[in-house]
């Protein structure tokens, strides 16, 4: 009997269930490994499924990837594996684009409503047993600028537009009459002054790293709120802290931060106008099964020679739209 290809699965404390991986295990030799054993598990492997998609272990183990042909990320972002040796190799990279889109869009809508209705303030008053009547804002008619025009940004745009918001976007190329965003600009600093809310859903690339710095925050309205569901490294954290502390912007909801996890004692923890979540905006109940299913469906295509879904342009660092 001919031996199937070796598929290495990099996991952390959670291992994909045998039932979910059955369609792969029946046609391949599946090796499960944590980061410490990745180099050994990569030798002879043709496929690497990075189920632990926050890991930084792949570059250190790359020297052992002697037969690798395909690397699949269990996330939308592929920045943990965009190191020079992989970019220059012939290894095909795919991601799990689409799985997290709706959940992240719902998270963003929830955060915007939380800001507008001051739900955080209500909770703090309740904890002090204070009954204080206040008025709230409306999101209908407010302008939101979405930075990043991939599938996550588009899902956010559709949901916020349905809620009555005016949606604009910033992407790599300027264009008009986009079905989800309307107008897309290419100059971030030119677009920021018109926004009541700024939502960041861009991939982390050399071009986008630290794109939100002191100049960007200074360009925003004093009443604007900032929401980051992209990557923490898109932001100069010290500049964000300074803008929030000075009242240059009104608030921030951060699902991703730099550094991550946020250290105990970091000033972001205690700012009253900041809400922090632990990089879980897309983690709906059942998401682990969904990312395994996305991999196994792509494996069906790979082993039969069909074109793979969600192939990453390694120069751009994401799947082209």
Q: What is the H or E stretch that residue 184 is in?
A: strand 182-185
Region class of 286: left (phi > 0), else alpha (psi between -120 and 50), else beta: left
Q: Distance between CA atoms of 216 and 239, rounded to whole angstroms?
A: 9
Q: Is 279 a catalytic residue?
A: yes
Q: Which two tokens stand for residue 146?
A: 């979405």
CA geometry: angle at 211 spanning 154 and 53, to 5°?
Answer: 60
Catalytic residue among 23, 279, 288, 290: 279
Catalytic residue among 72, 168, 225, 231: 231
Reported residue count of the chain is 321
Residue pair 198/176 in contact (Cβ under 8 Å)? The answer is no
Q: Can you state the angle between helices 101-116 and 151-162, rounded to 10 degrees? A: 40
Residue pair 175/184 in contact (Cβ under 8 Å)? The answer is yes
Q: Which two tokens stand for residue 42?
A: 């990569």
Residue pair 256/232 in contact (Cβ under 8 Å)? The answer is yes
Q: Is 266 a catalytic residue?
A: no
Q: Is 168 a catalytic residue?
A: no
Catalytic residue among 34, 260, 266, 288: 260
CB atoms within 10 A of CB 149: 22
User: Catalytic residue numbers?
Assistant: 231, 260, 279
């Amino acid at each position: 009997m001919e031996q199937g290809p070796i598929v290495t699965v990099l996991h952390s404390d959670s291992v994909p269930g045998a039932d979910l991986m059955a369609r792969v295990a029946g046609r391949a030799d599946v090796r499960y490994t944590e980061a410490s054993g990745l180099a050994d598990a990569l030798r002879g492997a043709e496929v690497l499924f990075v189920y632990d998609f926050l890991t930084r272990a792949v570059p250190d183990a790359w020297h052992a990837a002697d037969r690798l042909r395909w690397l699949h990320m269990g996330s939308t972002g592929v920045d943990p594996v965009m190191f020079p040796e992989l970019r220059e190799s012939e290894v095909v990279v795919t991601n799990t684009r689409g799985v997290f889109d709706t959940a992240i869009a719902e998270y963003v809508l929830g955060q915007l409503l939380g800001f507008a209705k001051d739900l955080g303030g209500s909770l703090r008053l309740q904890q002090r047993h204070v009954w204080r009547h206040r008025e709230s804002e409306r999101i209908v008619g407010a302008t939101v600028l979405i930075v990043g025009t991939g599938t996550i940004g588009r899902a956010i745009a559709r949901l916020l537009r349905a809620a009555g918001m005016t949606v604009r976007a910033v992407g790599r190329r300027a264009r008009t009459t986009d079905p989800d965003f309307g107008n897309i600009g290419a100059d971030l600093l030119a677009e920021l002054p018109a926004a009541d809310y700024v939502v960041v859903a861009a991939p982390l690339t050399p071009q986008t790293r630290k794109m939100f710095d002191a100049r960007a925050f200074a360009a925003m309205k004093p009443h604007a709120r900032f929401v980051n569901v992209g990557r923490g490294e898109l932001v100069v954290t010290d500049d964000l802290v300074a803008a929030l502390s000075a009242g240059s912007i009104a608030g921030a909801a951060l699902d991703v931060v730099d550094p991550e996890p946020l250290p105990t004692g970091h000033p972001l923890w205690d700012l009253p106008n900041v809400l922090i979540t632990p990089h879980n905006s897309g983690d709906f109940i059942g998401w682990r099964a969904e990312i395994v299913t996305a991999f196994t469906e792509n494996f069906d295509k790979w082993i039969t020679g069909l074109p793979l879904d969600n192939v990453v342009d390694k120069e751009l660092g994401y799947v082209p739209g």
